[in-house]
Chains A and B, each alone.
Chain A
């Protein structure tokens, strides 16, 4: 009786061991493991690093985790990793890069990157598990509890800010921030040309659109078209578009011609440009581009960002 019991226990133990070994190797291919887009959590799987060491992703729990899929042959992708690393959050985080070529990637990372874990094995399956589109590599941020917090394409300029927002609770680009900046510029006399323009409008107001980039097929193209439309209908207020002074005269002329602008287009002064480009650098050009503010003779009246907010403001203003 005792020997039968021992045999049964041995069988159960062996089966458990075999199941565990199989699960360790293939755990993330299990169909019940939902991709990140659905689960919104860090998949708890076993991975193998570039040196052949196996580890479970639950080792990352306890600190925020920045995961990026990287093709080391694409300079823009390496540059994006470097940029995030250079402006990393002050609080401690973990770094995981997943790539089709770990050797190349490690060789192309700068010194001091030893804290980055690189994984190559099962690259394609991991792309699916982390919900990375086939046509573009992405990054994903998980918080210290393994909960999904944010993701974006590698060419997202504001990645640094978004990471610091999750980890250090730093503010992302906001209207308050833009309002502070524009008011500060106004107080320093950097917006005097706009205030002067406002003085000549029937309402005493001028609408100013800030653009450092635009194209006919992009959202900012729609915003410019909206400003253009209101400028042609609104008889009470003046309208202006301002570009950073990094635009050449030829570029300014082409911008005006090709976007069919009926609104005057001006170059910003040096300090305005400097502050503007600093915002672009910190929060991403896409976040800042197309911001609209209204000035009267003396002060900044309101600031908005985004097409729908701008439409709402212009509608109210022109009534």
Chain B
């Protein structure tokens, strides 16, 4: 029973010490960390479940447009998907353990694999981004770009361990790197040029060794001249301009978050064993659409917060997935007219649900009532 409960949570909770140079690191599990770790993981899930029962007034329920369930781990088309990105041609999903990019066309249930194998092998791919007709994928060798037909274009050997990256205007690439040697001068965000070389670094890291440096992991987005760092294990967003100047920070709110923050003070939770660290996960993805920041919260059922770039909450959307999730492995949003279209991959121990939702864009003159924490 304990291992099953732990399993539900296994896939979203990662340790900070990277195993074998693979960006997706070894999860904390009951198998590896024992029943005490499993119990504390269950407490994170319980807090989230209980907190999600308190829906904010004005929350919109998303309409399910497409929902497909797949078995994880070999019987279906996905082994260990970790990131997704969309454009008009369809949905592109990087599968870490399959070393492949999977593709799903807009009106098709079938999942195919981009023929990247003969041109440039992907080595433990992680974040995928689509920009101007190319797919950019970070892997153990850098950032590789492919045509949307799978044709290899180039590799940017950055020599950074890339947690997440984003592509801004003029194809400027910003990465949130991980470091094994922790220095106060290590930046939170690094801009690299078209060859992968560092142009500049900016943003302060917390460098909390007692948390295995997990609280410096962030999803990156760009909006015009701004670069946003949406932290995975802190309910906060930092905003910088393209010169690297810190502009502002604002919180991401949910009733469960206060109790989750208390878990970060519990050593049994944060440090389940030697060289094993974890923190509660608040955020599972972030995207900018127009001048709106959309943040996917890490909750058992999807909940997306729509915010202005100044941090004002403008809307909140919830969707239903066919099972209680242990996390999300990809998130993207597009705006078509006055309708948002959301894609996400929800997972539990054995299954993955490919979800496509739509929701009407709110009239932003009347701000939705929000949580007060």
Contact = CB atoms under 8 A, between A and B. Distances in A.
A216 B216 CA distance: 14
B180 A214 contact: no
21 contacts: A71-B98, A73-B98, A74-B98, A134-B29, A214-B159, A215-B21, A216-B180, A217-B18, A217-B21, A217-B178, A218-B18, A219-B180, A221-B179, A221-B180, A225-B180, A253-B197, A254-B196, A258-B158, A258-B160, A258-B192, A258-B197
A251 B75 CA distance: 40
B73 A134 contact: yes
Q: How large is the interface on B (under 10, 10 to 19, 20 to 34, 35 or more residues)?
A: 35 or more
Interface of B: 10, 18, 20-21, 23-24, 26-27, 29, 31, 73-75, 79-80, 97-100, 117, 121, 140, 157-161, 177-181, 192, 195-198
A216 B178 contact: yes
B73 to A, nearest CB: 7
A81 interface: no
Interface string A215-232: 111110110010000000
Given A215-B161, A217-B18, A218-B161, A100 B74 contact: yes
Most chain B CB neighbours (cut-off 10 Å) among A134, A217, A225: A217
Contacts of B18: 217-218
A258 to B, nearest CB: 5
Contacts of A73: 74, 79, 98
Interface bracket on A: 20 to 34
B159 A255 contact: yes
A136 B98 CA distance: 10
* Chain B interface mostly: loop
Given A74-B99, A216-B179, A217-B18, A135 B161 contact: no
A225 B159 CA distance: 13
Contacts of A76: 99, 121
Given A134-B29, A254-B196, 17 more contacts: A71-B74, A75-B99, A76-B121, A216-B159, A217-B160, A217-B161, A217-B180, A218-B18, A218-B161, A218-B180, A251-B157, A253-B195, A254-B198, A255-B157, A258-B160, A258-B192, A259-B159
A71 B78 CA distance: 11
Contacts of B121: 75-76
List of 6 A-B pairs having minimum Cβ-Cβ separation, nearest first: A217-B161, A225-B181, A217-B178, A254-B197, A100-B74, A218-B21
Nearest to A100: B74
B195 A254 contact: yes
Contacts of B74: 71, 73, 100-101
Nearest to B157: A251
A136 B97 contact: yes
